[in-house]
Amino acid sequence: MKVGFIKFLALLLLCSVLGSTAQAATQPGVVLSFDDTYVDQWYDFFAHRTDVKATFFVSYWHTLTPAQIDKLRQLEAKGNEIGAHSYSHVGVGDATFNFDPALTEKYVDEQVLPALANMLLDGFNPLSFSYPSGERDENYDAAIRPYFPFLRSTFADEQKRLYQLDDIFHDENKQYGFLSGDGIDNSYNNDLTEIEEALLRAK
């Protein structure tokens, strides 16, 4: 598919689905999202649950098997969201881009539009994009937002505990077009006590 046609198709789909996007809940809760290509593990845990919903941000879509894509369809049918996580997990802070504002269109053409095109071809209409490695800035936000109205990133401050990170807590007064979160897997080094403290604040 030519890049120009992909851009047109993405904008057309965006206009058609934005009107039906649900309003954010006003009750306290936790936003769960999972990244990369762990489709089989996600499916095994979430496919038969009705008490929790999550967003699954997928990178390397072009490497998924038909069976994995079908599992993502089933997860979406259960009320989970399937989002984009770039074409090949290259971040905007990667050596190739290094947050350079002159390279935003190159990033969109190489990492955003091909990922979107693959998802559209398989019948998905993603609205959310999660930055690989949480790397983002306002220039890249502006370049990506025409295709994805909802952007996700990570925020960390090693000098503070999770519950002290105001950037990862959100309420009805915050702009939901962009959300930051923090990780709870091993690479983030947040112990269970810290996670419990953050959950208590969210409650």
**CATH code of residue 57:** 3.20.20.370
Question: In total, how many domains does the chain have?
Answer: 1
Q: What is the pLDDT confidence band of residue 187, given thresholds at 50, 70 and 90?
A: confident
Residue 136 lies in a domain: yes
Residue 4 lies in a domain: no
Residue 183 lies in a domain: no
pLDDT at 8 over 50: no
Residue 185 lies in a domain: no
Q: What's the whole-number mean pLDDT along residues 67-74?
A: 98
Q: What is the pLDDT confidence band of residue 18, given thresholds at 50, 70 and 90?
A: very low
Residue 161 lies in a domain: no
The number of angstroms, rounded, from the C-alpha of 81 to the middle of its chain's C-alpha atoms is: 9
Per-state percent for the chain, helix, strand, coil, to nearest 5:
45, 10, 45
72 and 56 in contact (C-beta within 8 Å)? yes
Please report the pLDDT score of residue 100 as a whole number: 98
Please report the pLDDT score of residue 21 as a whole number: 42
Count of CA atoms in the C-beta half-sphere (13 A) of 89: 11
Q: Write out the DSSP string of 51-65.
A: S---EEEES-GGG--
Pairing of strands 178-181, 150-154: parallel
Q: What is the pLDDT confidence band of residue 175, given thresholds at 50, 70 and 90?
A: low
131: its two tokens: 């930055």
Q: Which domain covers residue 89, as residue numbers?
A: 30-154
For 129, phi then psi, to 5°, come to -130, 130
Please report the pLDDT score of residue 12 as a whole number: 42
Please report the pLDDT score of residue 155 as a whole number: 79
pLDDT in tens, 92-145: 999 999 999 999 999 999 999 999 999 999 999 999 999 999 899 999 999 999
Residue 190 lies in a domain: no
Q: How far apart are the first and last CA of the chain?
A: 46
170 and 164 in contact (C-beta within 8 Å)? no
